[in-house]
């Protein structure tokens, strides 16, 4: 009888661990950039492209921190409630910003800038 109870207890714990992993936010390293056209940057010169790239890089860093905080909060929520927060606006914006950075870099490359 004790063996039967132990097996059920192990099964319940395993289920709780799996449920706790539900709806967890995506790690920032796994968020890829959304495709963005370089047309927005056609009229930009080298200085403006560099400034835009710098601005996007700073915003990306802020969003990575926000996504990591969301993961941390979600882990705590999953511990207590059995489910996480999932991705929010941070993940969507991070994908957009990364896509914009890629577009700026392509525009710089097309114009022969570093």
Q: What is the pTM of this model?
A: 0.76
Rounded mean pLDDT of the chain?
A: 87
User: Number of structural domains, the chain?
Assistant: 1
Q: Find the domain containing 8 and state its range.
A: 2-110
Q: What is the DSSP string of 76-114?
A: HHHHHHS------HHHHHHHHHHHHHHHHHHHHHHTT--
Average pLDDT of span 66-80: 88
Q: Are 29 and 60 in contact (CB under 8 A)?
A: no
| pLDDT tens-digit map of 17-45 | 555 456 788 899 999 999 999 999 999 99
């Amino acid at each position: 009888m004790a063996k039967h109870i132990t097996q059920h207890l192990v099964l319940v714990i395993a289920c709780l661990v799996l449920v706790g992993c539900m709806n967890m936010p995506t790690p920032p390293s796994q968020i890829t950039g959304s495709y963005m056209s370089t047309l927005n940057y056609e009229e930009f010169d080298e200085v403006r492209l560099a400034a835009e790239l710098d601005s996007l890089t700073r915003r990306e860093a802020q969003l990575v921190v926000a996504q990591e905080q969301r993961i941390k909060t979600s882990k705590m929520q999953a511990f207590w409630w059995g489910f996480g927060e999932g991705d929010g606006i941070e993940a969507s914006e991070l994908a957009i910003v990364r896509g914009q950075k890629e577009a700026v870099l392509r525009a710089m490359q097309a114009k022969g800038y570093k």
